[in-house]
Structure 1
Amino acid sequence: MPATAVARPERAWILSWTMVAVGLIGTALSVTLWGVRPTHLVATLGLVVAFTLADRFPVYYEFRESSVALSLTDAITTAGYFIVSPTELLVSRVLGGLLVSHVLDRTGPLKRVFNTGLVLLEALVSVGVFVAISAGGDLQAPLTWLAVVTAVSTSTAVDVVTLRLVMWFATGQRAGIDRWTALMMLLSSTLAGSTVLASLIMVDTSPAAPLLLLGPTLVLFLGHRAHVRTVQENRRIHSMYALASSLSRAPELDQVLVGVVTEARQTLRSAEAELLVLRPSDEPDLWIHIDRDGLLDTTTEDGWTAPPSHLRLLRSWNPGDGANGHVTSEEVAVPIASASELYGVLVVRGFRADRSAFDSDDLTVLSGVASQLAAHVSTSRLRNKLQTAEDAQRYLASHDVLTGLANRRRFEASLAQLETDPRAVAEGLSLLVMDLKRFRQLNDTLGPTAGDRVLVEVADRLRDSVSANALLARISSDEFVVAEIGGEPMQLAARLQDAVARPISVHGRELAMETAVGVACWPADVDRVPHLVRSADLALSVARARASSAVERYTGELQTTLTRRAMIGDLLPEAIRAGLIHLHYQPVVNLHTEQITMVEALARWTDPELGPVRPDEFVAVAEANGLIGDLTDLVLETAVAQAARWARAGSLLGVAVNISVHDLEREGLVGTIREVLVRHGLQADRLVLEITETAVMSDPARSHDVMVALRRLGVGLAIDDFGTGHSSLSYFRDLPATKLKVDRSFVHTLLDGEDDRRIVRAIVDLARGKDLVVVAEGIEDRETFDLLREMGVQYGQGFFMARPMPAADVDVLLTTGMHLPALRGLQG
């Protein structure tokens, strides 16, 4: 961390007032020498406005991790040499500078006095040097050119020297502008003066000549802007890395706090930065502030009143909010907090060196700083609570710092002891390994801060869902493990999955996490407790390959399953490329008219070596191996082509195609579907895309945007397996869906279960309120068919009406009749 300067403001005051006195005396003498007759009043007022704007809105470029001003003031001064008299130029330069320093900028008293002295000296030196050298100011005279370059460079030199002097007087250190930056300032002022002088000479030669400079100027401006963005992003990354490195070395907490405030101010290049740290009840709160002059102030006085920015966050923060802060054009404020405890507030504010406003990128950067600091504060306080350094090391060696759960080492040690536990021997032991599916993708997309927020929330939910005697640990980045004596392991797995599946709020987005769980039991499944983790991991690898959240219990046959899955993974890419995946179509019937209205396209694959491969097998492998996009494109292409052929034959039959959560995340999905429809000449409303409720809730905001774009295209949208996910009704009301498909799990027990009947009636009422069509899946008998019709369900599909069939059988139906009797007659 950079060293903090010690304030000695009285010496800076002496220098600043000395500069003002010298400037006033020099200005009075110069005006007396040059005369005071106002001969160019309008031009002088224009120069006052121009100088005011130039000082108020300087143009900056990046050099050696610093912002260097491209001196537009020097450019205006150069023009003024040839437009007005020396006295008028001197007065307009001073008035413009004073307007900015004393009226427009909200600076402290010391800086206002210093700026007054600086503008007096700069104007006096600039105009005086030019008058002394130019000898009449002839544009075409080389002596005039030398006068311009000397005047603007000397003025800049005054700026550099006075800034270094005031920093030395104020801090006792050789601080301020480094030699390279000073050199660049001199070069930029010389460039500005020379460019304006060249333009004036060109105008003197031909009024249209300066137009030749427009092209190169525009190219330089655009290149500079791109360069600034790259440099700023690199600086942010470097600062975050430096901060993380310093925190990892774990110095004393108070040193870290001062360093973080300094680093936050420098990273966001703000005028001020401050940190309020809420101490335990027996200690006063700590406030650290770095002002606009870079001077540090700290206080731990009791009764200190927090500024408004701090109070807003302190009053509004709730457990679970994490580091969600706020940003305005002039301020960024974030809480320093874990998932359950608020440690303080970090704020940067004030105009930045380049006058740019704060934005959401700055909020993200400061939130990252806050998250790292919160972890360090949490660890530091925990270390202080432990009685000895040995206790602290033992705890950190056996626990996950982020979630507070046991780590793998602690878990395995505790698990080994259970093999001789009398209760475990009598009742048995269940071990569950849970994996957060697609967590790595979430971490890459939303950033590690969001990932940490999810992990902490998941850990809290798991902690609340297991018994007090259970062993719970985080054993890798996205894996948790639970060991529990007795009980029913599959019920425990379902309970844990339900707890994790509830939407998690992260940065204003509602995320639903899918999970895979592997289960192994001792002594039912394995003969030794140490074998539990390996066996549960084996079961987890099977569950992880499923298309959605799944639970798999270890059996001896799992190795055979894994071998088959590996073969599927080897053969599937070629099957997709060669078009060996073919489609069957399951009719969807109007329950009231018994007419076939559409078909659902279902992928089928029979391999010479593997034999028939179930869709849930190869779809899961396609998702795990990154082939799901290719598989979806193949199904979409085949189904749309077939529907187009039926349309040309005079049929109104529509087709439904399933898309996965990975498809929703694909860039260009909407464009791909549009191209397929156009290529085959199929009306968009003949295509329905079926999306599972779980897929929609994995990232509701993105799913909503994609679904809106698809509806604009004209295709229908069906929410598949409705009722099995965790979507809220408020979110569901905003979805641009056209159909709801009742999951087959409710339909199968409809005749015997009153609860399922109530659920189906609720779905029908919900759909009716949004003018949506309801489709029931899994109808396997006439009684269920009739009951669903009486309950108001409009459409259905299932083995009672027809099993999935090849396209040729659908062609037969087009000639024999698109109704239920013909359908049942076709399949016998």
Structure 2
Amino acid sequence: MTVYNVSVLSFAFVVDNDGRYPPEHTARSIATHFTDPVMVQDIPIQTAAGVGLVALDAGFTAPAEALRAALTAAQDSRSSHHPFAYYNPGSDAAQRRAFQLLTDLPEALEADDQFTLHFQPRVSFADRLSHSVEALIRWQHPRLGWISPAEFIPLVETTALIRPLTALVLETAIRRLSRWQDAGRDLGISVNVSPRNLAEPEFLGRLRGWLDRYGVDPRRLELEFTEGAVSPDNARTLETLRQVRTLGMTVAIDDFGSGYSNMAYLTRIPADVVKIDKSFVLDLDRGEQARFLVTEITNLAHGLDFDVVAEGIETANAYTFLDGIGCDQGQGFHLARPMPDDQLDAWLVR
């Protein structure tokens, strides 16, 4: 066996497969050495390793290709929490595409024709009208075509690029609010933000600057963050949320019920709206358990003085059930799909 130090945290093992020990045996043996914590000055440091396997006779034209394939397999091992993983060309293609998207994103942020906003209406159960929409970003890549936000948003959230991307969405949404306000349309916008945004020292200042520049009433803007993404122990982030509310904006907890937060989470986060995760809403037509959970979440949120929004309403039965338990607003394909500016205007006056 020959060992190479590829980088600070990466090592390559070249093993002769003489038949005595299968590759899986060697890989599992390597991974096992990382299961116990490493002691550094009597402090236990928990470690973890991903082990990727690739056969050197698999048709690679250069050693560097085989090494990159092994690193890709090691990433698959870490992602799956399995001791080892074999090189998978399909996974490799996905990682190449992910790298390409992240590489192209800075240029896309500077362009005027790649990122656009679509808007999905939220409908009030009380009067059947829409008083607010959610802003959803869309990416038209010049070479790859339309890129689903489900593909690129999770990638961007792992990098500092989430900051300029959210800034683009926020300023565009506020600019749109200004046009609606000037036209006499009483409509608000909800925008998703990440903990990285809330942790920025200049975040509130930029937000105030956009609202002032475009003359927008702060009460028309709502900021959403995913349940569990904001820790109730993060004093700085909680203070940012309090200041957001002091300025007149509302704060929404998105995808509530999808994480592992207990109900006490709602008592510690400064927010105004609870958005029930769509996985529960989609199951309303399938069983009593989902109906029980959605009812309990709604009652609990109302008891704590939150408004309740149900996401993922795709059937008339789900809509009727949510109306019956007193849910405040609904959002989903049964009511309206995300749509561009011009279609939203037509939908609102339908």
Q: Shorter-chain TM-score: which interval?
A: 0.7 to 0.9
- Give 2:184's aligned amino acid: G
Query: Do residues 727 (structure 1) and 264 (structure 2) align?
Result: no
Amino acid at match of 2:74: D
Report if the CA contact (8 A) 1:542-1:562 is conserved: no
Identity %: 36
Gaps of 5+ in 2: 1-10, 33-39, 54-68
Match of 1:711 in 2: 245
CA distance in 2, matches of 1:554, 1:799: 39
Query: 1:558: which partner in 2?
Result: 91
Match of 2:180 in 1: 646
Residues 617-660 of structure 1, C-alpha deviation per residue, up to 9 Å, x if partnerless? 32233333421111111100000110111111111100000001
SS at match of 2:133: strand
Give the aligned partner of residue 75 of structure 2. Answer: 538
Matches within 5 A, 1:747-826: 747-814=281-348, 816=349, 822=350
TM-score relative to the length of structure 2: 0.77
- Indicate how the Cα distance of structure 1 residues 519 and 752 shifts in structure 2: closer, same or farther if over 3 A, else same: farther
Secondary structure at the counterpart of residue 131 of structure 2: strand
**Alignment partners' CA distance in 1, 2:310 and 2:187:** 19
Once the two structures are superposed, residues 244-287 of structure 1 have per-residue CA deviations (whole angstroms, 9 ceiling, x without a partner) of: xxxxxxxxxxxxxxxxxxxxxxxxxxxxxxxxxxxxxxxxxxxx
> SS state of the match for residue 259, structure 2?
coil
Equivalent residue number for residue 225 of structure 1? none
| 1:55-454 alignment runs, 5 A limit | 419=22
Is the CA contact (8 Å cut-off) linking 2:211 and 2:217 kept in structure 1? yes
Whichever residue aligns with residue 809 of structure 1, its letter is Q
Describe the shift of the 1:770–1:432 C-alpha distance in structure 2 as closer, same or farther (beyond 3 A).
Answer: farther
Aligned-residue Cα RMSD (Å) equals 3.5
**What CA deviation, in whole Å up to 9, does each residue of 1:430-484 have, x standing for no partner?**
x999xxxxxxxxxxxxxx99xx78x65xxxxxxxxxxxxxxxxx3xxxx456xxx
Native 8 Å contact 1:741 1:776 kept in 2: yes
Letter of the 1:570 partner, please give it. T
CA shift in 2, pair 1:553/1:785, >3 Å: farther
How much has 1:558 moved relative to structure 2?
1.2
Where do 1:638-677 residues align within 5 Å? Answer: 638-677=172-211
1:752-782 Cα offsets, whole Å, 9 max, x none, are 1222222211211111111111111111111
Q: Equivalent residue of 1:598, what SS?
A: strand
Q: Does 1:598 align with 2:135?
A: no
Q: Secondary structure at the match of 1:557?
A: helix
**Compared with structure 1, are the counterparts of its residues 708 and 480 closer, same or farther at alpha carbon in structure 2 (3 Å cutoff)?**
farther
Cα deviation, residue 542, structure 1: 7.5
Q: Summarize deviations over 1:329-361 as a string: whole Å, max 9, x none.
A: xxxxxxxxxxxxxxxxxxxxxxxxxxxxxxxxx
Give the Cα–Cα distance (whole angstroms) in 1 for the partners of residues 77 and 150 of structure 2.
16
Q: Which amino acid aligns with 2:97?
A: R
Q: 2-side partners of 1:700 and 1:418: how far apart?
A: 49
Question: SS at 1:605's partner residue?
Answer: strand
Q: Structure 1: how far apart are the matches of 2:108 and 2:190?
A: 22
- Among candidates 564, 571, 577, match of residue 104 of structure 2: 571
Task: Measure how far apart 1:678 and its partner are.
Answer: 0.8
3-state SS of the aligned residue for 1:568?
Answer: helix
Residue identity in the other structure for 2:294? V
2:20 and 2:226 map into 1 onto residues whose CA distance is 43
- 2: CA distance, partners of 1:542 / 1:574: 29
| Secondary structure, counterpart of 1:629 in structure 2 | helix
- The residue identity in structure 2 corresponding to 1:578 is A
For residues 263 and 106 of structure 2, the distance between their equivalents in structure 1, rounded to whole angstroms, comes to 40
Total equivalences in the alignment: 305
Give the secondary-structure state (helix, strand or coil) at the position aligned to 1:707: helix
Distance 1:420 1:558 in 2: 20
Encode CA deviations 1:708-749: one digit per residue, 9 max, x unaligned: 111111110000011122223334202221100011111111
Contact 2:52–2:71, Cα closer than 8 Å, also in 1 = no
CA distance in 1, matches of 2:199, 2:20: 45
Amino acid at match of 1:787: F
Asked if structure 1 preserves the Cα contact closer than 8 Å seen for 2:253 and 2:273, the reply is yes
Partner of 2:4: none
CA contact (8 A) 2:232 2:238 kept: no
Structure number with higher strand proportion: 2
Which of residues 565, 581, 585 in structure 1 aligns to 2:115? 581
SS of the equivalent of 2:185 reads coil
| Matching residue within 612, 622, 625 for 2:156 | 622
> C-alpha displacement at 1:666, in angstroms?
1.2
1:519–1:586 CA distance, 2 compared to 1 (3 A): farther
Distance in 1 between residues matched to 2:87 and 2:279, nearest whole Å: 24
- The answer to which structure has the higher helix fraction is 1
Contact 2:73/2:88 (<8 A) preserved:
no
1:611 is matched by which residue type in structure 2? G
In structure 2, do the counterparts of structure 1 residues 729 and 641 end up closer, same or farther at CA, with 3 Å as the change threshold? same
Distance in 2 separating the partners of 1:519 and 1:790: 53
For the residue of structure 2 that corresponds to 1:666, the secondary structure is coil
Task: State the one-letter code of the partner of 1:769.
Answer: G
Distance in 2, Cα, partners of 1:762 & 1:652: 31
Measure how far apart 1:701 and its partner are: 2.9
Distance 1:698 1:540, change over 3 A: farther
Paired letter, 1:719:
I
- 1:634 correspondence with 2:183: no
How far apart are 1:571 and its partner, in Å? 1.5
Asked whether the equivalents of residues 660 and 695 of structure 1 are also in contact (C-alpha less than 8 Å), the reply is yes
How far apart, in 2, do the equivalents of 1:786 and 1:559 lie? Answer: 45
Aligned to 2:235: 701
Which position in structure 2 is the counterpart of 1:738? Answer: 272
Maintained 8 Å contact 1:538/1:558: no
Offset at 1:799? 0.9
SS at 2:268's partner residue?
Answer: coil
Please tell me whether the aligned partners of residues 538 and 554 of structure 1 are also in contact (alpha carbons under 8 angstroms).
no
Give the match for residue 144 of structure 2: 610
Deviation, structure 1 residue 672: 1.3
* 1:559 to 1:755, Cα distance in 2 relative to 1, 3 A: same
Report the CA distance shift for 1:566/1:535 in structure 2 as closer, same or farther (over 3 A). Answer: closer
Q: Provide, for residues 393-440 of structure 1, a one-character-per-residue CA deviation record: whole Å limited to 9, x for no partner.
A: xxxxxxxxxxxxxxx99xx9xxx998499xx9xxxx9x999xxxxxxx
Quick one: structure 1 residues 806 and 543, their matched pair in 2 at CA, closer, same or farther if it must change by over 3 Å? farther
Q: Deviations over 1:141-175 (max 9, x none)?
A: xxxxxxxxxxxxxxxxxxxxxxxxxxxxxxxxxxx
Structure 1 pair 553/632, CA: closer, same or farther in 2 (3 Å)?
farther
Q: Distance in 1 between matches of 2:312 and 2:198?
A: 26
Q: Which amino acid aligns with 1:683?
A: D
Separation (CA, whole Å) in 2 of partners of 1:553 and 1:747: 38
Query: 2:65 is matched with which residue?
Result: none
SS in 2 for 1:678: helix
Deviations 1:775-797 (A, max 9, x none): 11111111111111112211111
Between 1 and 2, higher relative CO (CA 8 Å, sep ≥ 6) is seen in 2
How far did 1:680 drift?
Answer: 0.8
**Contact 2:119/2:338 (CA < 8 Å) preserved in 1?**
yes
CA offset digits 1:585-625 (Å, max 9, x no partner):
00001123211111000000111201111113322333334
